[in-house]
Structure 1
Amino acid sequence: MNYGFIRVSIAVPKLFLTNVDKNYLEHKKIVEKLSKTHTQVISFPELSLTGYSCGDLFHQAKLQNKAKNSFIKFQEVSEKFPNIFIVLGTPFAYNGALFNCAAVYNNGKLVALIPKSHLPNYNEFKERIYFQSAPEITKKISISGIEHKVIFGKHVVFTSEQDEKFSIGIEICEDLWGVEPPSGKLALNGANIILNLSASNELVVKTDYRIRLVRQQSERSICVYSYVSSGLGESTMDMVFGGSGMIYEYGNNLGEMKPFSLDNQTLTVDCDVDRINQERIRNTIWGENTILNNIQHEKYFFKTKNIDFNSNTLKRNIDPLPFLPHIKNSDQLNERCNEIMSIQANGLAMRFQRSKVKNLIIGLSGGLDSTYALLVCLEMCKILSITTNCIQALTLPGHGTSELTKSNTENLCKALKVDLEEISIVEITNMHLNQLGHSGDHDITFENAQARERTQILFDKANLINGLVIGTSDLSELALGWTTYNGDHMSSYGVNATIPKTLIRFLIQWYKENKLASKKAKGILQKIIDTPISPELIPPDTESGEIKQETESLIGPFELHDFFLFHFIRRKARPGKILFLAGRAFSKKYEKEEIEKWLRVFIERFFANQFKRSALPDGPKVGSVSLSPRGEWRIPSDIDDPSLWLDDIN
C-alpha cells in the first residue's frame, strides 16, 4: 500500500550556460538515475535548459529556437519514463513575446507550459527586460513540431489519474515572493504539492529568508512545497548561485540540499498528501476559502504509478517521539520548555485568583505526573509573587505504596521546601471494602476504592483550608482511560491534561538540568524519573518490597501509546497507517507483532473510556492535542464497537 505517500524529487543539474545540448543530456541523466528510486515527480530549476543568467542572449533567436527544439525533444525522455511527472525550466517565444516557463511532461508528452507570473525588476534582477508576465487566460495552444495541443497559462492544476487526492501546482521563483503567490490559488483549487522552479542567488542570510518563505507558504497553503534553485553553473559575473533545494510539508522540513555542489545534485523524499488532505478537511477556514475562491483552474489528469511502500523503503524520517521538542539549540530549547510550563502555570494562576482560594492541594505519589504538577505549582507561585506556603502536598500511602515512592515524595518536598502531610488510606479503605462485603481479592474494586478514597481526602482537605485540588492525570492516561472514574480522574484544575507521559518525563529532566541549583533536588528528580511507572494499587513484592504493578507491562509502553495518540488525533491517520509508521519509527526496538498488539490495546481502550473524558475537569490546552470535550474532542461516550478501526489494522 502507499498509505497516501507520494515520492517527490528535486534536482540541480550540472549547468553549461547557453549550451542547451549539454544541459539536455544532464537532465536526461538525472531522470534516468532518479527513475531507479521509483520517484513519481521530478522538478528542475528555473530556466534549467539554458541557464538563468544568459542576459540579453535570451533575445537571440538562436538560443530561443535551440531551447524550443530541446524541450520538444525531451518528450522522448518522458516516453521512456511515462509514469514520472517531470518539470524543467525553459524560455518560450509565443505570439511575439518571450516567457519564462516551466515545461511539464508526462506519459511521453509535453503537456503544459506554465509562464512565470511575477517578474522581478529590482536590484540585481532585470527579468522584465527579457520576459513577459503570464497572461490571465489559460488556453491550449499549437506548437510547431508537436502534434497535440499544449496547455499554456498559469491557472492549471495537475491531478493523478490513479488517485484524485494527489494534485500538483507550479509556480516560478519570484511568484513565491509576491503578496499573493499563485500557489495560494493553486492550493485552493486542489493542488496539495506545489513545485517552485527557482533561480535565487546566494547572499548573506538569504538562505534563512528562503527557508522561512517556503515553510510559511507550506503552512499557509496546507501543502507540500518543493523548492529548487539554480546551481554553480550560472554566471558568477555579479552573482553566485548555490543550488538551494528543500521540501517542506505543512511546515515540517522533509529534506534540504547542501549548496555549492559542482556536480548533479538530487533530493528524494516521500510526502504525505493524505496528511495534507486531512489537515485541510479539519481546518474549516480552508473550506470557506475554497468556496470564496473565484479563479477557476484548468484540471489536467496525468499518469503515474503507485508505490507499494514498506517501512524499509519509506524515504522520510518518522519521529518516534512526536510530542517532544527536538531542538538542538539550547537557548531555543529552554525557551520552548519554559513556554510549555508558562502556559500551564499562568492558567493555574488565573484559576487560583478567580476562585478566590488560598491554597493548592496536591496529592503526591512519588511518580512522574504528580511531581511535574508540583513543579507547575511552584512556577505559579513565582508568577504571582507569593510564597510556596500556599501549596499543601499530601502523601496518601495505601496497600500498594512502596518505600521507594514514599521516600521519593518525602525527599522531594524537603528539597523543594514544600509542606507535606501524610494520611494513610489503608484503614479507611479496608473499612469501606468490608462494608461492601468485599472478598479481599486484589481486583478492580480493591484498586478503585483506594483511588477514590484519595480523591475524597483531597477534596475534603480543599474544603477545610479553602483550596483547589490540582489534577495530575496526563494526556496519555486520559487517552487510555488509565484513571479511576471520579477518583484520580477528578480535580479542580487538571494542569497535566494535555501533556503526554513522554513529554512529562522530558520536562522533568529539563527542569532538573536548568531550573535547580541543589544537587540533592536534582538527584531526587532523577530518582523519580528512573522509578517504574505504577498506580501502586496492589501490594509490592513481599520479599523485595519492589513495585509489583508496572503500568507499561499491563497496557504497553507509553512511548508507543503517545505515538499512536499523536497520529490518531493530530494527524487523523487510520490505524493501518499508524501501524506502518510505528513499524518504521520503532524498527530497532519493537517487533511488528508487539506494536500491533499494543495498537489494538490503544484503540480498544481509547473508545471504551470516552465516558471518562466526557466528564473531564478544566485544564489548559498546551500543545496541538487535547481530549477535552469542551475543546477539540467530541465523540459519543457509548460507541461500543470500534471494529471499523480495529479491522483496519489488518
Structure 2
Amino acid sequence: MKALVAIAQINVTVGALQANADRIITAARTAHQHGANVLLTPELSLTGYSPEDLLLRDAFYVASDAALERIVQASSSLPGLHILVGHPVQREGERFNSCSVIAEGKVVARYHKHDLPNYDVFDEQRYFTPDARPVVFEINGIRFGVNICEDIWFPYAPEAARAAGADILLVPNGSPYHMGKIHTRKDVVRANVSRQGMACVFANLVGGQDELVFDGGSFCLNARGEVMVQMPQFVEGIEYVAIKTGEPQPGSCAPDLCEEEEVYSALKLGVTDYLGKNGFPGAIIGLSGGVDSALTLAIAVDALGADKVRAVMMPSRYTAEISWLDSREMVQRLGVRYDELPISDCFDAFRKTLATEFTGLPEDATEENLQARIRGTLLMALSNKHGSIVLTTGNKSEMATGYCTLYGDMAGGYAVIKDILKTLVYRLCAWRNAQPGGEVIPERILTRAPSAELRENQTDQDSLPPYEVLDAIIRRYMEERASVAEMLAEGHDEATVRRVVKLIKNNEYKRRQAPVGIRVTHRGFGRDWRYPITNRFTE
C-alpha cells in the first residue's frame, strides 16, 4: 500500500485555457518523472478561479472541454499517473464545479462539488448545481476520495467519501487569502476530515485574480490531524506526499510567516499578477512624502522591479519641504524614475476660471479637492500617454470614512492598500524596513503626523479620530459586523462610534467608484461588502 501524491500549487489565469492546460501538463510530466501516482491540481485549475459570468456562456464550456481533452491526450504518455483537474461541466441544462480524474488517455472518474459557497466573495450558487455523489478510486490498494474546497467546511461530503471507502481525501481548492486563513483551513480539515479517520491532501491555488489573492499554502494532514507536509505561501511549486501502508509520511514543511510578511507578500503578488496578467508595462504612483504612498511605492518596486515603476511628486504651495526631501530620498534608495510636476499654476488657473462662481464664498474642502483632482488628472494623463497603470494609495481607514477625493487621489486603476487599515500601514512599513538591504522608507515619513497637505498646517487628525481608535471601530463594525450597542458595551465613546458609522454609511457612493483593490481581510470593501447607496436605515 504505497503511493506518491504530487501537489501542484500553480498560478493560472482565468480564461487562459490553453496556457493553463500547458501548465497542468508540464506539472504532470514533472510528477511522472518523480514516480508520482497522483497529481492533484487546484479547484477549477483549467479555467482559473473564479470565471464568474464566463460560466454563463456556452462557448466557455466548449473551449474548456477542448483544453481538457489536450490533458487527456497528454496523459496517454504518462502511464501510472492519475491527474486530477478542476474544470466546469455543462450538461443537460445544469452546470457543475467538477474535478476529473484522468489516467492513460481516459477520464476514469469525475466528481461534482456538493457545497457551493454563497457568502463573502463567493457566488457559486449563481452558476452551479450541487451534486451529492461521492467519488472514490483505488491505487495500489489505497482508496482515494475527492472533495472540492467548500465541501470540507461541512461534514456531509467528507462523511460520504468515507462511507464510500476513502482512506485519503484529495481536495482541490480555490481558497482565497485573508489574514490567518492558513490556520483556519487546517482547523476545518481536522474538524471534518480527520475525525472521519481520513488523511487529507489539500492543493490550493496561488496567484492574484482582480481583488483576490490565492496564497497557496497547500498541505497534507494525516488521519490524526498532524501536519505531514506544508508548502510555502505565495509561490508556485510541486511537493510530494509519500503514502506508506496507507499513511502519509512526514515531508517538507515550510515555516509559517508572521502576519506582516504574510500581508506584504499578498500585496506584492496581487500587484505582480494584476499588471502581468492584464498586460500593463509598468506602474505610476503619485508620491506625496506620506506613509501611504511610500508603502505603495515599496510594494510596487518589490513586485515589479524598479525599472517598471515611476514616481511622480506633484507639490503645491501647501507641500512641506520635508515632504519633498523625504520623497527624493526614498526614490533614490529604490532607484525608480522620479519626476516633479508642480500644480500651483494649474490650481491658480482653476481658481481663476471659478472665481465668478465662488464670489463671496469662503474657501473650504472644494479648494482642497481641486488640488487632489489636478493630481489625479496629471497621473491619468501620464498613464494614457505611456500605458502604465496608476496605482492609488488610499488605505482602508480613508476608504471607510470617505477621507479621499473622487477623481482625485481615488483616480487610478488598482488600489494596492485599499484593504489595509492605517495602523497596519505603519506595521508593514516597519517590517519592510527591517528586511535585508536596509531601510527603504525614510524614518521621518513614519514618525511625522500624517497630512493630506491641502491647506495650511493640516493633519489627518483634524478630520478623523486617532487612527488607533478609528481602526478599532472600523474593524469591529465593518469586518466583524459588531453592532453599535456591542461597541458601546466594549467601552468605545458613543459620539465617536456614531460618527464613524455614519461616515461609513454616507461614503458608500464614493467606494462604488473606487478602483478594484487587493483584499487581505476576511471582509473588504469589494465583492463581500454589498450595502445600498440609497439607504436611510440607522442603527
Return the TM-score normalized by structure 2: 0.51
One-letter amino acid of the structure 2 residue matched with residue 399 of structure 1:
R
Classify 1:378/1:599 alpha carbon distance in 2 versus 1 (closer, same or farther; 3 Å): same
> What residue number does 1:190 align with?
none
Task: Give the Cα–Cα distance (whole angstroms) in 2 for the partners of residues 220 and 502 of structure 1.
Answer: 34
Shift of 1:402: 0.9
For the residue of structure 1 that corresponds to 2:289, the secondary structure is coil
One-letter amino acid of the structure 2 residue matched with residue 528 of structure 1:
I
> What residue number does 2:65 align with?
none
Q: Does 1:374 align with 2:345?
A: no
> What residue number does 2:427 align with?
506
> What residue number does 1:250 align with?
none
Shift of 1:397: 0.6
One-letter amino acid of the structure 1 residue matched with residue 321 of structure 2:
E
> What residue number does 2:117 align with?
none
Task: Give the Cα–Cα distance (whole angstroms) in 2 for the partners of residues 462 and 512 of structure 1.
Answer: 29
> What residue number does 2:344 align with?
426
Shift of 1:184: 7.4
> What residue number does 1:612 align with?
510
> Alignment partner for residue 471 of structure 1, among 378, 382, 392?
392
Task: Give the Cα–Cα distance (whole angstroms) in 1 for the partners of residues 317 and 438 of structure 2.
Answer: 35
Shift of 1:372: 0.6
Deviations along 1:206-235, one digit per CA (max 9) or x if unpaired, are xxxxxx99x9379969xxxxxxxxxxxxxx
Task: Give the Cα–Cα distance (whole angstroms) in 1 for the partners of residues 436 and 494 of structure 2.
Answer: 39
Classify 1:404/1:344 alpha carbon distance in 2 versus 1 (closer, same or farther; 3 Å): same
Which aligned pairs between 1:14-413 and structure 2 lie closer than 5 A? Answer: 216=187, 335-381=258-304, 387-413=305-331
**What are the ranges of 5 or more consecutive residues in structure 2 without an aligned counterpart?**
1-153, 157-182, 193-253
Return the TM-score normalized by structure 1: 0.43
One-letter amino acid of the structure 2 residue matched with residue 373 of structure 1:
T
> What residue number does 1:5 align with?
none
Deviations along 1:5-51, one digit per CA (max 9) or x if unpaired, are xxxxxxxxxxxxxxxxxxxxxxxxxxxxxxxxxxxxxxxxxxxxxxx
Aligned residues of 1:555 and 1:601 also touching (Cα < 8 A): no
> What residue number does 1:627 align with?
525
Task: Give the Cα–Cα distance (whole angstroms) in 2 for the partners of residues 614 and 564 of structure 1.
Answer: 21
Aligned residues of 2:315 and 2:342 also touching (Cα < 8 A): yes
Classify 1:332/1:529 alpha carbon distance in 2 versus 1 (closer, same or farther; 3 Å): farther
Shift of 1:356: 2.3
**What are the ranges of 5 or more consecutive residues in structure 1 without an aligned counterpart?**
1-182, 186-211, 222-330, 382-386, 540-547, 584-591, 646-650
Q: Does 1:600 align with 2:502?
A: no
Deviations along 1:530-582, one digit per CA (max 9) or x if unpaired, are 1111111113xxxxxxxx1111232211111211111112221111211222x
One-letter amino acid of the structure 2 residue matched with residue 517 of structure 1:
G
Q: Does 1:490 align with 2:411?
A: yes
Classify 1:471/1:333 alpha carbon distance in 2 versus 1 (closer, same or farther; 3 Å): farther
One-letter amino acid of the structure 1 residue matched with residue 446 of structure 2:
I
> What residue number does 1:94 align with?
none
One-letter amino acid of the structure 2 residue matched with residue 602 of structure 1:
V
Shift of 1:357: 2.6
Classify 1:441/1:220 alpha carbon distance in 2 versus 1 (closer, same or farther; 3 Å): farther
Classify 1:218/1:348 alpha carbon distance in 2 versus 1 (closer, same or farther; 3 Å): closer
Aligned residues of 2:476 and 2:482 also touching (Cα < 8 A): yes
Aligned residues of 2:391 and 2:413 also touching (Cα < 8 A): yes
Shift of 1:465: 1.5
Aligned residues of 1:398 and 1:425 also touching (Cα < 8 A): yes
> What residue number does 2:449 align with?
532
One-letter amino acid of the structure 2 residue matched with residue 638 of structure 1:
T
One-letter amino acid of the structure 2 residue matched with residue 625 of structure 1:
R
> What residue number does 1:558 align with?
467
Task: Give the Cα–Cα distance (whole angstroms) in 2 for the partners of residues 511 and 572 of structure 1.
Answer: 31
One-letter amino acid of the structure 2 residue matched with residue 472 of structure 1:
T
User: What value does the CA root-mean-square deviation take over the aligned residues?
Assistant: 2.8
Classify 1:578/1:398 alpha carbon distance in 2 versus 1 (closer, same or farther; 3 Å): same
Task: Give the Cα–Cα distance (whole angstroms) in 2 for the partners of residues 347 and 463 of structure 1.
Answer: 22
Classify 1:483/1:515 alpha carbon distance in 2 versus 1 (closer, same or farther; 3 Å): farther
Shift of 1:441: 4.3
Aligned residues of 1:566 and 1:625 also touching (Cα < 8 A): no
Shift of 1:517: 2.2
Deviations along 1:131-161, one digit per CA (max 9) or x if unpaired, are xxxxxxxxxxxxxxxxxxxxxxxxxxxxxxx
Shift of 1:485: 1.1
For the residue of structure 1 that corresponds to 2:391, the secondary structure is strand
Task: Give the Cα–Cα distance (whole angstroms) in 2 for the partners of residues 434 and 494 of structure 1.
Answer: 33
Shift of 1:333: 7.8
For the residue of structure 1 that corresponds to 2:323, the secondary structure is helix
Shift of 1:511: 0.9
Aligned residues of 2:292 and 2:395 also touching (Cα < 8 A): yes
One-letter amino acid of the structure 1 residue matched with residue 348 of structure 2:
N
One-letter amino acid of the structure 2 residue matched with residue 378 of structure 1:
V
For the residue of structure 2 that corresponds to 1:506, the secondary structure is helix
Deviations along 1:238-257, one digit per CA (max 9) or x if unpaired, are xxxxxxxxxxxxxxxxxxxx
Classify 1:393/1:596 alpha carbon distance in 2 versus 1 (closer, same or farther; 3 Å): same
Aligned residues of 2:397 and 2:422 also touching (Cα < 8 A): yes
One-letter amino acid of the structure 2 residue matched with residue 469 of structure 1:
V
Aligned residues of 2:282 and 2:308 also touching (Cα < 8 A): yes
Task: Give the Cα–Cα distance (whole angstroms) in 1 for the partners of residues 507 and 469 of structure 2.
Answer: 18
> What residue number does 1:570 align with?
479
Classify 1:400/1:336 alpha carbon distance in 2 versus 1 (closer, same or farther; 3 Å): same
For the residue of structure 2 that corresponds to 1:491, the secondary structure is coil
Deviations along 1:351-376, one digit per CA (max 9) or x if unpaired, are 21233232210001111111110111
Aligned residues of 1:569 and 1:625 also touching (Cα < 8 A): yes
One-letter amino acid of the structure 1 residue matched with residue 484 of structure 2:
P
Deviations along 1:498-547, one digit per CA (max 9) or x if unpaired, are 111110111101111124425xx46x1x21111111111113xxxxxxxx
Shift of 1:400: 2.0
Deviations along 1:166-206, one digit per CA (max 9) or x if unpaired, are xxxxxxxxxxxxxxxxx979xxxxxxxxxxxxxxxxxxxxx
Task: Give the Cα–Cα distance (whole angstroms) in 1 for the partners of residues 533 and 190 of structure 2.
Answer: 34
One-letter amino acid of the structure 2 residue matched with residue 357 of structure 1:
F
> What residue number does 2:89 align with?
none
Aligned residues of 2:383 and 2:389 also touching (Cα < 8 A): yes
For the residue of structure 1 that corresponds to 2:338, the secondary structure is strand
Classify 1:217/1:335 alpha carbon distance in 2 versus 1 (closer, same or farther; 3 Å): closer
> What residue number does 2:173 align with?
none
Aligned residues of 2:331 and 2:338 also touching (Cα < 8 A): yes
Shift of 1:597: 2.6
Aligned residues of 1:362 and 1:470 also touching (Cα < 8 A): yes
Task: Give the Cα–Cα distance (whole angstroms) in 1 for the partners of residues 485 and 301 of structure 2.
Answer: 43
Identity, in percent, stands at: 24
For the residue of structure 1 that corresponds to 2:283, the secondary structure is strand
Task: Give the Cα–Cα distance (whole angstroms) in 2 for the partners of residues 623 and 220 of structure 1.
Answer: 23
